[in-house]
Amino acid sequence: QVQLVESGGGLVQPGGSLGLSCAASGSFFSIATMGWYRQAPGKQREYVASITTGGSTNYDDSVKGRFTVSRDNAKNTVYLQMNSLKPEDTAVYYCYARARRIVVGPLNDYWGPGTQVTVSS
């Protein structure tokens, strides 16, 4: 199994910053891509950002220029630095990893339980 646990969520004022972390553990050979989705109340889960093993990043238009995704491959950890936060960023943020459990095995997606981010004055 591959387990993911997010940390760093909380309450922040509009315009503030918050950093999230997600560490992967368990049995796996490698993690190809790690990233973040979020889900606000009454809305579908939406893509936020991702990063490959080689460091290539991708962002949803709604967070470009404000959020930065990074990773530490040695620690199997992905980060999301969120700046200039807006009330519409309020959501449960979910970490995911696209991982290969064995050297020539398939890539499967794994999800963390989520962490709440609330942007409010």
**Alpha carbon distance 91, 16 (integer Å):** 15
17 φψ region: left (φ > 0), alpha (ψ -120 to 50), beta (else): beta
Q: Which residues 6+ apart lie within 8 Å of 8 measured at CB? A: 18, 19, 20, 21, 115
Task: State the DSSP code for 40.
Answer: -
Measured distance CA(15)–CA(113) in Å, rounded: 26
* Residue 1 pLDDT: 79
pLDDT tens per residue across all 121 residues of the chain: 799 999 999 999 999 999 999 999 998 889 999 999 999 999 999 999 999 999 999 999 999 999 999 999 999 999 999 999 999 999 999 999 999 988 998 999 999 999 999 999 9
